[in-house]
Amino acid sequence: MLSLSISSPPPAIAGGNGEPAAYDFHPSPSISLSCCRRNGYPLLLAVPKTSEGTPTSSYSFRNSSRRSAISERKAAIEQVKESTNLEATLPRVEGLLRAEDLNVILRYFGESRRWIEVSQLFDWMQKNKVLNLTSYSTFIKYMRISRNPVKALQVYDSITDKSTRVHLSICNSLLGCMAQNGRFASSVKLFSKMKDDGLSPDVVTYSALLSGCCKEEDGYSKAVQLVQELENSGLQKDAVIYGSLIAICASNNLCEQAEEYFNQMKELCAPNIFHYSSLLNAYSANGDYAKAEKLVVDMKSTGIEPNKVVLTTLLKVYARGGLFEKSHNLLTELQALGYAEDEMPYCLLMDNLAKAGKIEEAREVFEKLKENKVKSDGYAYSIMISAFCRARMLQESMQLAKSCEVNYEKFDLVMQNTLLRAYCIAGDMDSVMKMLKKMDELKLSPNWNTFHILIKYFCREKLFHLAYRTLEDMHNKGHKLNEELCLSLISQLAKAGFPSESFSVYNMLRFSNRNVNKSIHETVLNILVGAGLLKDAYVIMKDNMELISKSSLNKFATSFMKLGNINLINDVIKAFYRGGRTIDSEIFQMAISRFIEKPKKKDLLLHLLKWMESHGYVVDSTSRNLLLKNSHIFGQKKLLAEMLSKQHVNSRILRGLQVEV
DNA sequence: CTAGGGTTAG
C-alpha cells in the first residue's frame, strides 16, 4: 500500500510520460523497488519525513539520465560510508544500491578496519539478498584480517547456492582465512574437499595454504610438501609463492633457506618489498644486523623505499640482536615518520628488553606507549604482564592484568592465557575462576597453553583431582601431552593417594607421545605395586620388562605372588621367563604355597609344576615338603610324587651340565 | 565486472 504525503499529483509512476513525478511514499515490502532507482535528487542527504516524523525509506521519483542515476548511487555510497548508524541508513538505500556498490562500501569499512560496520553491512546484504560472489570473498577476506574464522565459516555454511559454494575464489579466501588463523588442519580438510568437488587448485590456493605454514609447527616441511604438489600439478611458483616461502623460512629460523629462495626468485623476477621484508625477518632470528642493514641498502638501490613493515622488521632485528640503542633510535625515527601509531614497534622493543632482563627499561617503553596514546589491542599489556611474571614481579603483573581486564573487553586466547597465568602465579584463585568463567562465556576454547597453565596451578594448590580432570580434558581434545608435566602429575597423584589416576595419566601420555622417557615405566610400576594395583602393574611389567630394574621387578613379583590375581600367577612367571629374567626360587615357593591355600586351583599348580619341569626349574626343598604334606588335595599322590622325583633328576642333570661348562 | 593468495607483535 502506498501512503502518499507532501504533494498529490496523480500517481503516474516514473517513466510514464516523462513528467517529473516528485512525491514520496513508503514502499510496502512487496513492491519491487527496482523501478524506483531512477531519480535525480541527491537522495538520502535530507530525508523527507512523514507527518509523523518517522524517517522511513523515502524515495523521490523523477525521470532522469543514466548519468544522474550513477551520481545518485555515488551519493548514496558516500552517505552509507559516512553513516554513524547503519541500521537506520541501510533501509533507505534498499533497492537503490546494487551489490557492487555495497561491495565498495564493504571494502571501505574493511580497509579502515571497522569490523563492526563490516559485519553489520554484510548481514544486511545477506538478509536483503543484495550480494554477489565478490561480496562473499571480500567479507571472508576481512574475517581473515580481523581474525574471525568462525564467522567466516558460518557465512560460508550459509551459502545455499552450489555454484557459489563450490567456487575457486570463495574457497581460496576461506582457505586463507582458516590457514592464517591457526586452523591449518581445517584448511587442509577444505583443500581436499575442494578437490573432491571438482575444483582445480591454482597458485592462489597454494599460497593461501602456505600462509598458514608460518605459524605452524614444522611449517617448513609442510610448505615444501605443498610446493611439491603444486609443481607436480603443472603449476609454477610465482612471486607470491616465493614470498610465502621466504616468510615461512623466516619464522622457522631457516635463514639460509630464506636466502636461497630469495636468490632463486631473483632469476625469475625482481624482488618486491614483501620479499625484502621477509628476508629481513629471517635475519632477525639471529639478530644479524649487518646483513639486515646491507639488505635495506640493496633494497633502496633498486628504488624501493622502506615502508612501515620493513622498518619495523629492522627494529626487530636490532632488538633481537640486543642492539637496544639502535632500536631506540629507530623507534624515534618510526615515530617521526608516523609509523609508530600502532603498538607493534613498541612491543618488539619491550619484549626483547624484558627477555634480556632489562625489565625497567621495558617498563619505560610501555609508559611511553601510554603517554603517546598509541592504540593498543592489548599486545603491549600482554607482553608486560608476561614480563612481570617472568621477573616474578607478581604485584606488578597482577595490577596490570586487572587494569587490562577493565580496559579491554575483547580478548583473544593469548591474552586470556596471559591473564590466567598472572592470576595463577599470584595464587589469586578468585580471579582464576572468574577468568575461566569468562572464557567459557566468550566460547574461547582453551589451547595447549591454557591447559598447561591450569594443570600446573591446580597441582600447586594441591587440587589434584582437578588437575587430573583438566589433563583428561586436554587429552580428549587432542592436545599432545607434555612429558614433564605428566611425570610431575603422576608422582603427585600417587603421593596424594590417587594411584589409579596416576596410572591413567601414564596411559594418556603414552598414547599421545610415542617416545616417552624410559624410566617412567619403572616409576609407575612402583607406584602401582605400592598401591596394590597389581593387574595394572602386570601390564606395565609385561610391556617394558627390559627397561625395569631387577629390584623393582622383584618387588612386583613378590607382591603379585602374595596378593595378585591367582589366575594370573602362572602368566606372570612365564612373562618373566620370556623376558629373559631370572626367577628366584622364592618366587616359585610363594606361588606354590599360594596355590596350596586354594585347593580349587590345583590345576594351575599342576600346570606350574609341569612348566617348571620342562623349563629346567627345580622345586626347592621347602616347597617340596609342603607339596608332599598337602598331597591329599590333589587326589593323585602318585602323580605328584613322580613329578617331583623326575624333576629332581632333571635338575641334577642340569646342574651337572652347568658345572661342565 | 574489477574478486581469491604473501611481510611485522604476545
The answer to whether A382 and A415 have CB atoms below 8 angstroms apart is yes
Interatomic separation, CA of residue A99 and C1' of nucleotide B3, rounded (Å)? 13
Residues 166-205 of A with CB under 7 A from strand B: 168-169, 172-173, 176, 180, 202-205
A176-191 mean pLDDT = 92
Cβ of A135: how many Cβ atoms within 10 Å?
A: 21
Per-residue pLDDT of A35-86, as tens digits, reads: 333 333 233 333 333 333 333 343 444 445 556 677 788 888 999 998 889 8
Interatomic separation, CA of residue A200 and C1' of nucleotide B5, rounded (Å)? 15
Residues 86-105 of A with CB under 7 A from strand B: 100, 103-104
Q: Which of A35-39, A218-222, A459-463, A482-486 has the lowest mean pLDDT?
A: A35-39
Say what the pLDDT of residue A636 is: 64
Q: In the numeric block, which cell numbers belong to residue A37?
A: 532507482
> What is the residue-wise DSSP string for A502-561?
HHHHHHHHHHH-SS--THHHHHHHHHHHHHT-HHHHHHHHHHSGGGS-HHHHHHHHHHHH
Proportion of chain A above pLDDT 70, given as a percent: 86
Task: List all nucleotides in chain B with at least one atom under 7 A from a protein Cβ.
Answer: 1-10
Phi/psi at A129 (5° precision): 55, 35
A359-364 mean pLDDT = 96
Say what the pLDDT of residue A166 is: 95
Helix (H) or strand (E) holding A651: helix A637-660
Q: If you measure CA to C1', which residue is closest to nucleotide B5?
A: A204
Nearest nucleotide to the CA of A172, by C1', is B4
Interatomic separation, CA of residue A330 and C1' of nucleotide B4, rounded (Å)? 36
The identity of residue A183, as a single letter, is: R
Question: Using CA atoms, how far apart are residues A642 and A227, in angstroms rounded to an integer?
Answer: 76
Sequence-distant (≥ 6) Cβ neighbours of residue A310 within 8 angstroms: A273, A276, A277, A280, A296, A299
Residues 392-451 of A with CB under 7 A from strand B: 412, 414-415, 418
Say what the pLDDT of residue A182 is: 86
Say what the pLDDT of residue A101 is: 92
Nearest nucleotide to the CA of A244, by C1', is B6
Judged by DSSP in three states, A369 sits in helix
Per-chain mean pLDDT for chain A: 85
A159-170 mean pLDDT = 93
Q: What's the CA dihedral at A407, A408, A413, A415 to 10 degrees? A: -30
Per-residue pLDDT of A209-232, as tens digits, reads: 999 998 888 899 999 999 999 999
The answer to whether A574 and A542 have CB atoms below 8 angstroms apart is no
Per-residue pLDDT of A94-133, as tens digits, reads: 888 999 999 999 999 999 889 999 999 999 999 999 999 9
Per-residue pLDDT of A505-532, as tens digits, reads: 999 999 888 888 889 999 999 999 999 9
Q: Enumerate the domain spans of chain A.
A: 1-69, 593-661
